[in-house]
Structure 1
Amino acid sequence: MINVLIVDDSAFMRKVLSDLLSSDPSIKVVGTARNGADALDKVPKLKPDVITLDVEMPIMDGLQTLKVIVDQYAIPVIMVSSVTKAGTTQTIEAMQSGAIDFISKPSGSISLDIHKVQDELIQKVKVASKVKIPKEFKELPPTSPKPLVAKYLLDDKKKGESIRKKIITIGTSTGGPKALVEVISKLPKDLNAPVVVVQHMPKGFTKSLAERLNKLSELNVKEAVHGEIIHDGWVYVAPGGSHLKIEQQKEELIVSLDDDTPPTRGHRPSVDEMYFSLSKLKEVEKIAVIMTGMGTDGTNGLLSLKNDSRTIAIAESEASCIVYGMPRSAIATRQVDDIVPVKEIASRIVHHLK
């Protein structure tokens, strides 16, 4: 049985979430709490396997509560958030502070239609119950990058000293916001390549993710916009609900956002879709990074990149992954060049840029 503690300031939400989770025979709701202080009093008594934690609460909010749980207990936490400016901002901060995943309330703090996310909630609780939180996951990332210098690779197939275009791509899912801070905060501000990121998230959260990463990095980080030219030293995060594809027009690389193509394996944005688009750009060097996440997104796209273009592939090792799904699937193709813990990914990226 997976023992769950539900924390929410709404009695209605506590009851409905309890009913939704209890509908699965492998899950038992061992208790509920009305705020963070109440939850921290009950955690040592109830010893839950997973905690669902409301973001916006009086007395002691979700973020404050999470930081205590992360500091004192190795219990996976799933944030339950409303899609408000405050809610999305705090959710992203929580994900980067140690929360495993989050559930978005469909219609505000008190969502009468919360049953719409029942399957997602149950699935995420089951995944969280199997997570072994790495020791390094509790550590706060540095707020400034290492003093590394990146350079373009020279194109030895062309005459003279002409420079090839390069692009860095990162795909991740569960546990990704924390891993992204670890990687992007360590990349140098004079990075001679653009970075494009696909993080599995719904609409409303990716902008807050980009803003949070921007504060923690010396690179410029923003949510990608359709039709914009991508520049070296910038990080572009795929908006939730849109596939991010890269096209080439003359000498420029352009963002193309696709809202029409259905989700790939349940995801939009999809890492595969980003990689498929990049595999068409024969004259662009790629560094493809696949980090923590459930499922196999990115594997087929990586095979396409490796078959059709010059690509260096980096996968996060099992030792630091929150969920070793996406990296394991990529590694199984035998097309991955480097397998390293998350703390070493930035340095490997820079190494391959030299």
Structure 2
Amino acid sequence: MQKIKVLVVATSVMMRKQISNLITEDSIIEVIGAARNASEAVSMVQELRPDVVTIDIEVPELNSLVALSSIMSQRPTPILILSSGTKDGIVATITGLQNGAVDFISRPTQLYGLDLSHIKDELIFKIKHAAQIPLRTLILNNITVSKVITGQQAEDNSKTECIEEFDQIIAIGCGVGGPKALEIVISSLPANFPYPLLIVQHMPPKYTKVLAERLKRFSSVQVVEAKNDQLVLGGTAYIAPGNCHMTVVQQGQEYRIKLHRKAPVNGHRPSVDVLFDSISGLKSLKQHLILMTGRGNDGSRGMLNAKQAGAQSTLVESQETSIINEMAEAAMALGCVDDEVPSHLLASKVMEVTGELANKFDK
């Protein structure tokens, strides 16, 4: 069997050594080089042509993000981020994911030492999966690469006004590859989009808050991390907090978000199935369910139940743009999918199924 060639990027000598030693314990992985900074990483990718690159994000050292963007623009390669889990590290990780990295692994901060042995299995697993991502998928996902936007610039963006009355709702589920896919979809919705979007992204606590803040900067609709008992308004996207299931309930003429920490479903909390099940119970609303890139089968059962209960539309991201297509495939296997759509066309499809595309041309 052909070995997976990995380039390790980290500013710390100890970090480069530990990562290299850990991943080469698997006989199918070969470390072909180790870079200590952005310029070395970019040149070594061109010279060595690795199958996967691991980048340790150390903030405020932003050269890692420079390397990531340069690699994706010059020679697209699956990149895994090792994130310290600090506030700055989380921001850098989300930025990296939106600039082309395919996945991340949270590692201990140096405060707790540099023993990475407990992440070995996850790291090896994700390297093997990253190596299988087609080049075409990487290219399609990085035709438009995110740019860091300052807070002042974010304030200048035109935003949708919150709308209290609506008759349709959109629910979205995604996992690996989701931050970039969500950016592509949410940022493409117009400033007058009138319906709420409820989103489950498989991600730990703290990361979802930063994801919501980043998406808000790129989008014309409002984007927030959801809070318990929050009023659902049209023109707003609500991201489920990490480690919390998110549901929507009707109270009189209002719809409110309810968060809880019951047992994980399909190995996830938040779970897409939990969200989809609650959405399918909102009989007075037209429901549109979307499954995007992600690992496993979370959301497929909920989509089937919603379809059988009369959901208006059920969509999945097509394989050509999905970093991992397992969630969509699981739903398709159940026969509950109306259409497959690449990520860059999903916003237009949402406009179509909600009738907003026709309304736009009528105006």
Q: Give the TM-score normalised by the residue count of structure 2.
A: 0.87
**Counterpart AA for 2:221:** L
Q: Residue 170 of structure 1 aligns to a residue in which SS?
A: strand
Checking the alignment, whether the CA contact within 8 Å between 2:170 and 2:289 is kept in structure 1 is yes
Deviation larger for 332-341 or 96-105: 332-341
| Mapping for residues 157-176 of structure 1, pairs under 5 Å | 165-176=167-178
Q: Distance in 1 between matches of 2:258 and 2:145?
A: 31
Q: Cα–Cα, structure 1 residues 209 and 222, in superposed 2: closer, same or farther, change >3 Å?
A: same
The one-character-per-residue Cα deviations of 1:46-84 (angstroms, maximum 9, x if unpaired) are 321100001226876211000110011121001111122
The one-character-per-residue Cα deviations of 1:97-121 (angstroms, maximum 9, x if unpaired) are 1111111113358753422222221
Q: Residue 92 of structure 1 aligns to a residue in which SS?
A: helix
Deviation larger for 108-117 or 234-243: 108-117
Q: Distance in 1 between matches of 2:16 and 2:226?
A: 36
Q: Distance in 2 between matches of 1:141 and 1:74?
A: 12
**1:141: how far off?**
6.1
Checking the alignment, whether the CA contact within 8 Å between 1:106 and 1:116 is kept in structure 2 is no
Residue 116 of structure 2: aligned partner: 114
**Counterpart AA for 1:83:** G
Q: Cα–Cα, structure 1 residues 51 and 285, in superposed 2: closer, same or farther, change >3 Å?
A: same
Residue 334 of structure 2: aligned partner: 333
Q: Cα–Cα, structure 1 residues 211 and 164, in superposed 2: closer, same or farther, change >3 Å?
A: closer
Does 2:352 correspond to 1:351?
yes
Q: Distance in 2 between matches of 1:244 and 1:59?
A: 35
Q: Distance in 1 between matches of 2:35 and 2:230?
A: 46
Q: Cα–Cα, structure 1 residues 6 and 297, in superposed 2: closer, same or farther, change >3 Å?
A: same
Residue 323 of structure 1: aligned partner: 324
Checking the alignment, whether the CA contact within 8 Å between 2:60 and 2:88 is kept in structure 1 is no
The one-character-per-residue Cα deviations of 1:289-340 (angstroms, maximum 9, x if unpaired) are 1111122111011111112243410111112222221112212222111211
Does 2:290 correspond to 1:289?
yes
Deviation larger for 224-233 or 320-329: 320-329
Q: Distance in 2 between matches of 1:142 and 1:28?
A: 31
Residue 142 of structure 2: aligned partner: 138
Q: Residue 71 of structure 2 aligns to a residue in which SS?
A: helix
Structure that is richer in helix per residue: 2
Q: Cα–Cα, structure 1 residues 36 and 141, in superposed 2: closer, same or farther, change >3 Å?
A: closer
For structure 1, the residue ranges without an aligned partner over 5 or more in a row are: 153-162
Q: Cα–Cα, structure 1 residues 27 and 238, in superposed 2: closer, same or farther, change >3 Å?
A: same
Checking the alignment, whether the CA contact within 8 Å between 1:287 and 1:312 is kept in structure 2 is yes
Q: Distance in 1 between matches of 2:224 and 2:264?
A: 23
Checking the alignment, whether the CA contact within 8 Å between 1:230 and 1:254 is kept in structure 2 is yes
**Counterpart AA for 1:263:** P
Residue 6 of structure 2: aligned partner: 4
Q: Cα–Cα, structure 1 residues 55 and 142, in superposed 2: closer, same or farther, change >3 Å?
A: closer
Q: Distance in 2 between matches of 1:142 and 1:347?
A: 20
Checking the alignment, whether the CA contact within 8 Å between 2:166 and 2:194 is kept in structure 1 is no
Residue 180 of structure 1: aligned partner: 182
Q: Distance in 1 between matches of 2:115 and 2:265?
A: 25
The sequence identity of aligned pairs, in percent, is 39
**1:279: how far off?**
2.3
Checking the alignment, whether the CA contact within 8 Å between 2:99 and 2:146 is kept in structure 1 is no
Checking the alignment, whether the CA contact within 8 Å between 1:35 and 1:60 is kept in structure 2 is no
Residue 361 of structure 2: aligned partner: none
Q: Distance in 2 between matches of 1:169 and 1:16?
A: 41
| Mapping for residues 234-245 of structure 1, pairs under 5 Å | 234-245=236-247
**Counterpart AA for 1:94:** G
| Mapping for residues 1-354 of structure 1, pairs under 5 Å | 1-56=3-58, 61-108=63-110, 111-133=113-135, 134=137, 135-140=139-144, 165-259=167-261, 261-354=262-355
**Counterpart AA for 1:244:** M
Q: Distance in 1 between matches of 2:13 and 2:267?
A: 32
Q: Distance in 2 between matches of 1:297 and 1:178?
A: 19
Residue 151 of structure 2: aligned partner: none
Q: Residue 206 of structure 2 aligns to a residue in which SS?
A: coil
Q: Residue 231 of structure 1 aligns to a residue in which SS?
A: coil
For structure 2, the residue ranges without an aligned partner over 5 or more in a row are: 148-153, 155-159, 356-363
**1:89: how far off?**
1.3
